[in-house]
Every structure is written in C-alpha cells, then in structure tokens.
Amino acid sequence: MIEVINLSKHYGDKKAVNNISFKAEDGEVLGFLGPNGAGKSTTMNILTGYISCTAGKALIDGIDILEDPVKAKKNIGYLPEIPPLYLDMTVKEYLYFIYDLKKCKLPKISHLQDICSLVKIDHVYDRLIKNLSKGYKQRVGLAQALVGNPKVLILDEPTVGLDPKQIIEIRTLIRKLGKNHTVILSSHILSEVQAVCDRIVVINEGRVVANDTEENLSHKLTGDNKFICKIDGKKDSVMRLIQSIDGVDKVYCDAEHKNDICDYRIESFEGKEIRYELFNKMAQNGFTILELRSAEMNLEDIFLKLTMGEAIPALEESNNYEEAEN
C-alpha cells in the first residue's frame, strides 16, 4: 500500500531524512517511533506531498506522490502534528469544506455523520472550532483525515496533548480504523506504539534503525537465551551452582537484596534448556527460586538501545564490573 524507497530529504547541509526505506501492507498499523527531531514529521510530510524529497521515491498504492500528486493524495487522509483547522468555522462548515476540497463522492450528510459519531464529535457539530478544547480539536483533525474514506491514514502524533481517557479512546479508535485502513502513526510515546501498532519502524537521526514487530525486535535484541532469576541463598554458592549447570554460558549478579536474596542474569548457549536443571539443583541445595523470567527487553529498552547506539554506557560498565568479579 505504502512503499518508501531510499527516501532522503536535506535542508541545506542537514540531512533530516537519510536514505530510509520501508513498506506498509494493506490493513497494517505501522508505528513510526523516534526521539524528537528524528525525521518522523518530515517523512510524513513527504508521504502526503506537503514537501518534496531530495532523493528517492514514495509510492501510495503504487502511485508516485511526486509524479501524480492529485491521484495519490486521493488515497491519503492526513492528520498533521498541529491539526489544520480554520478556527472561524463551525465543525460542520469545516467538514463540509473538507468534503468539497477532497472532491468526495460518498453521500455527504450520512458520510459526515458517520465520521462524527465515530470520533465522537456529534454534540459539538455546530460549535465554532476556536471554542473547542484541545482534545476536541484533535478529534476534528482526525475527522478531517477520515473524510472520503481514504485507504491510507497518516497520523502525526495523534494523541499529543490529550488527557489519559481521551488517549485511550483515540487509541481504541485507531485500532478500529486499522481494520479497514492502512495506518501510519508516528509517536515518541512508546506505550502508544506498543498498544496500537502491528509493526514498528524505529527511526533515529533520519535513519531507520529497526523495522519489525515488537516481539521480533525484542527477540532479536535479547534472544531466547537470557534469563533473570531471583534466588534466596548464599551468593557464592549459588553462582557456583549455576555455573556448574550444563549449557550455562555466563552468569552475572545484577543486584543484591536483603537476606542473601540476589538477582542473577543467566546466559545459556543457543538452544540449550537450562531451566529444569536450574530448578532441581537449587531445590536440592535448599535454595529457593523466587522468580524466573526470560530477559526480553521491553520497548523502552529497545528504543534506548537503538537510538543511543549499541552501548548504553552505564549498563555496559556494570556488566564489566560484575564479570571481573566472577
């Protein structure tokens, strides 16, 4: 549905977007994640034809946005970072204007009514936009993007400035819309992307640093062979016992709590199952396993790891320290 091929945008010497490529399939909700200034909005502005790219291509439903902008734009509903609202119009007048502007063919009154009840703005339909609260303005912006039922929805930070209840509502709505539309959603809020998106493209300093589902991302970055284990028992004996297990590669002590309780990080060799033996050995020696979990990274960790480069200094240092101790 959307294909971006080697897209670049330079502002003078600054490379806002640097040779990025990704695809969004039909009916997919794609999350566009990156810190502020990573190039998310620039990419979205290029996709919607608001600005042009320096190099590369953006295809919407197979149509190049630069070659046939009018046809390509018919497939797009765009909610920019700041909703493009005419404050001197009522919601009704504004949506009528957008309907005419997009040369929509659907039955006007019923179509607009459907949209209004979907984004829950029917009760402010006759009010001036300038008198609406930020949350409602955002919804009117979303309604505007939905007019004409475009195949692709591009939403730039759609929940910014909303209260928690509204955020949940908008997220639910986006999930719902994702069933019939291809949605690209940008955000720097990790939980949002986690809650809404099928796939995540992480972008940093104008480059794509990751492009996968959340599960795969955390898999790739941590693998199946790392566990966090909380054990009650004398540290040295526990460490020795764990190391004696067949298949254990490395073991670190991450944190020491009261009464000999420690957190251990265990890395096993690829494909080796160590958990049964770990359990049995600890039980035989009278040590209690209080917690055992796979050390998958959550989105926060992934994001930090990807956007700050491979080495997270603080983490890395503590690892070395622990390793030396062992």
Partner 1 sequence: MGAIFRREVRSYFTSPIGYIFIAAFFAYAGLMFSSDSLNSGYAKMDSMFSSLLTILIVLIPILTMRTISEEKRTRTDQCLLTAPVSLGGIVTGKFLAAFLVYTAAVSITAVMAVVVSIYGEPDWNVIVGNIVALLLLGGAFIAIGIFCSSFTESQVVAAVISFIVLIAVSFLSTIGGLLPALDEGHWYTKVIEGIRTALEKISFGERYIEFTYGIFNFSNVIFFISAVAAFLFLTVRVLEKRRWS
Q: Assess 93 for contact with partner 1 (CB under 8 A).
A: yes
Per CB under 8 A, the segment of 47-55, 216-224, 265-273, 287-295 that binds partner 1 is 47-55
CA dihedral 161, 166, 167, 168 (to 10 degrees): 170
**Joined tokens for residue 139:** 């919804």
Query: Which lies closer to partner 1 via its Cβ, residue 87 or residue 290?
Result: 87
The site for partner 1, by CB under 8 A, has a size of 30
- Interface mask (CB under 8 A) for partner 1, residues 7-26, using x and -? ----x---------------
Amino acid at position 252, single letter = Y
Amino acid at position 63, single letter = I
Question: For 156-172, b where at least 16 C-beta lie within 10 A, e where not — what string?
Answer: bbbbeebeeebbebbbe
Q: Assess 88 for contact with partner 1 (CB under 8 A).
A: yes
Cβ-based neighbour number of residue 29 at 10 Å: 23
Per CB under 8 A, the segment of 26-34, 79-87, 132-140, 221-229 that binds partner 1 is 79-87
Pick the binder of partner 1 from 78, 136, 287, 303 (CB under 8 A). 78
Pick the binder of partner 1 from 62, 67, 86, 243 (CB under 8 A). 86
The CA distance from 56 to 73, in Å, is 18
Q: Assess 85 for contact with partner 1 (CB under 8 A).
A: yes
The CA distance from 6 to 21, in Å, is 5
Per CB under 8 A, the segment of 87-95, 167-175, 271-279, 313-321 that binds partner 1 is 87-95
Pick the binder of partner 1 from 18, 42, 43, 48 (CB under 8 A). 48
Angle at 195 between CA 266 and CA 176, to 5 degrees: 150
Per CB under 8 A, the segment of 69-77, 167-175, 232-240, 298-306 that binds partner 1 is 69-77
- Interface mask (CB under 8 A) for partner 1, residues 101-130, using x and -? xxx---------------------------
Which residues, in sequence order, are CB contacts of 87 under 8 Å at separation 6+? 128, 129, 130
User: Is 195 within 8 Å of 171 (Cβ atoms)?
Assistant: yes
User: Is 162 within 8 Å of 135 (Cβ atoms)?
Assistant: yes
From 203, 262, 245, select the one nearest 33 (Cα to Cα). 203
Per CB under 8 A, the segment of 49-57, 203-211, 244-252, 261-269 that binds partner 1 is 49-57
Q: Assess 73 for contact with partner 1 (CB under 8 A).
A: yes
Residues that bind partner 1 (CB under 8 A): 11, 45, 48-52, 69-71, 73-74, 76, 78, 80, 82, 84-89, 93, 97-98, 100-103, 144
